[in-house]
C-alpha cells in the first residue's frame, strides 16, 4: 500500500559535506517499509508549488514510527528542503518501489558510494538482524562525503571505507579490492547503490566474475508511481524499456543498460 501523508519533521540538520539528515514521523510508512524502498518528498510547505514535483529519497533507516532520509543538496528542491524546520509537516508519498534486493542468500557483498549508502543501509541493518554474513564497502571522494559514519557506528556495522583523497579509510576507488572480496566470498551476490560510474565499474567486475549483482537505480523521477514513464532504463534481456520506480528500483546488472 502507498500512503500519501503529511508527516511531521522530527529532525532536519546538516551532517557533513553536502548531506543533511531528515527524520519524519510516518507510522504507516515505517510499519510497511521494506529495505530498498524509497519515498517521494515534497520539498515545499503545503500551498507552495515551486518546485512542483516531489523528490525521491531512499529510506535509509526506520526506528519505531520514524523514517530517516539522508539527502545531498543539489538544486532547487533539496535547497528548499534544508529550510524545513522540526515540527513542520511535509508531504510524503511511499513506501515506493516493488522489486527489491534478494533475501535468499546467507552472505552478501554490499557496496555504497557517496549518498548511495543510504540506499543500502536499511538492507545491511536487516541482514545483520537476521544473523547473515556481509562485507560492506563505503566509498566517497573525501571524508566529509561519508556522511553515514555516525549511523554506521551507532548500528555497529562493519565497513571498509575508501576515499579518493585518502582522508578516511583506504586511499583510492571502492573497486580496488573488489575482485579479492568476491573471490573470498564465493556464495555472495553484490548489492550496490551509488553514482553511475561506480555502479558501472562494480557491475563490470561482477559480470566478469560471473557473480549476481543487484543495482538500486536512482534515475530522475517525476511521479515515482509508474505513470509518467520518465524514469525508464533499457532492459537488454527483453529489448524494451522498464520503469525504475515501478519495475525497480533494483535490477540485476546484466539485465539492464546503464546509459
Ligand X SMILES: Cc1cc2nc3c(=O)[nH]c(=O)nc-3n(C[C@H](O)[C@H](O)[C@H](O)COP(=O)(O)OP(=O)(O)OC[C@H]3O[C@@H](n4cnc5c(N)ncnc54)[C@H](O)[C@@H]3O)c2cc1C
**Pairwise CA distance, residues 123 & 167, whole Å:** 27
Q: Kindly state the greatest CA–CA separation across the chain.
A: 54
Burial class (CB within 10 angstroms; exposed 0-12, middle 13-18, buried 19+) of 148: buried
Q: Which of residues 119-148 bind ligand X (CB under 6 A)?
A: 119
CB-count burial class (<10 Å; 0-12, 13-18, 19+) for 238: exposed
Q: Which of 58, 66, 124, 140 binds ligand X (CB under 6 A)?
A: 58
CB of 171 to ligand X, least distance (A): 25
Which three cell numbers, joined as nine digits, stand for 124?
A: 545491511
Which x/- pattern over 212-241 shows residues binding ligand FES (rule: CB under 6 A)? Answer: ---------xxxx-xxxxxx----------
Residue choice 62, 70, 109, 159 for contact with ligand X (CB under 6 A): 70
By CB under 6 A, tell whether 115 contacts ligand X: yes
Q: Which three cell numbers stand for residue 51?
A: 518546485
- Given the complex with ligand FES, which of 55 and 125 has the nearer CB atom? 55
Residue 139 backbone dihedrals phi, psi, to 5 degrees: -125, 155
C-alpha 216/C-alpha 236 separation (Å) is 17
Binding window for ligand X (CB under 6 A); candidates: 68-76, 127-135, 148-156, 200-208: 68-76
Terminal Cα distance for the chain, rounded: 31
**Binding residues for ligand X restricted to 173-232, rule: CB under 6 A:** 218-221
How far, rounded to the nearest angstrom, does the alpha carbon of residue 200 sit from its chain's CA centroid? 16
Residue 57 contact partner, candidates ligand X, ligand FES, none, CB within 5 to 8 A by sort of partner = ligand X
CB of 258 to ligand X, least distance (A): 12
Q: Quick one: which of 48, 75, 86, 183 contacts ligand X (CB under 6 A)?
A: 75
Beta bridge partners, 91, equal 6
Residue 74 contacts ligand X per CB under 6 A:
yes
**Residues at the site binding ligand X, with contacts judged by CB under 6 A:** 38, 51, 55-58, 69-72, 74-78, 115, 118-119, 218-221, 249
**Residues at the site binding ligand FES, with contacts judged by CB under 6 A:** 221-224, 226-231, 243, 245-246
Amino acid at each position: 500500500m502507498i500512503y500519501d501523508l503529511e508527516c511531521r519533521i522530527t529532525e532536519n540538520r546538516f551532517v557533513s559535506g553536502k548531506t543533511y539528515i531528515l527524520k519524519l514521523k510516518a507510522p504507516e510508512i515505517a510499519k510497511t517499509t521494506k529495505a530498498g524502498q524509497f519515498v517521494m518528498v515534497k520539498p515545499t510547505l503545503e500551498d507552495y508549488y515551486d518546485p512542483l514535483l516531489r523528490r525521491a529519497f531512499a529510506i535509509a533507516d526506520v526506528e519505531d514510527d520514524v523514517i530517516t532520509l539522508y539527502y545531498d543538496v543539489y538544486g532547487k528542491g533539496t535547497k528548499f528542503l534544508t529550510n524545513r524546520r522540526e515540527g513542520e509537516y511535509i508531504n510524503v508519498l511511499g513506501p515506493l518501489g516493488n522489486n527489491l534486493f534478494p533475501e535468499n542468500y546467507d552472505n552478501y557483498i554490499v557496496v555504497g558510494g557517496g549518498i548511495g549508502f543510504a540506499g543500502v543501509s536499511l538492507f545491511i541493518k536487516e541482514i545483520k538482524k537476521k544473523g547473515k554474513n556481509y562485507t560492506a564497502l563505503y566509498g566517497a571522494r573525501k571524508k566529509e562525503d561519508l556522511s553515514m559514519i555516525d549511523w554506521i557506528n551507532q548500528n555497529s556495522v562493519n565497513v571498509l571505507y575508501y576515499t579518493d583523497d585518502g582522508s578516511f579509510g583506504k586511499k583510492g576507488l571502492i573497486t580496488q579490492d573488489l575482485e579479492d572480496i568476491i573471490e573470498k566470498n564465493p556464495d555472495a551476490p553484490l548489492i550496490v547503490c551509488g553514482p553511475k560510474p561506480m555502479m558501472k565499474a562494480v557491475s563490470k567486475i561482477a559480470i566478469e566474475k560471473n557473480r549476481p549483482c543487484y543495482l538500486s537505480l536512482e534515475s530522475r523521477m517525476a511521479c515515482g508511481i509508474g505513470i509518467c514513464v520518465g524514469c525508464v532504463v533499457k532492459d537488454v534481456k527483453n529489448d524494451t524499456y522498464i520503469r525504475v520506480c515501478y519495475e525497480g528500483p533494483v535490477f540485476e546488472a546484466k539485465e539492464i543498460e546503464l546509459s
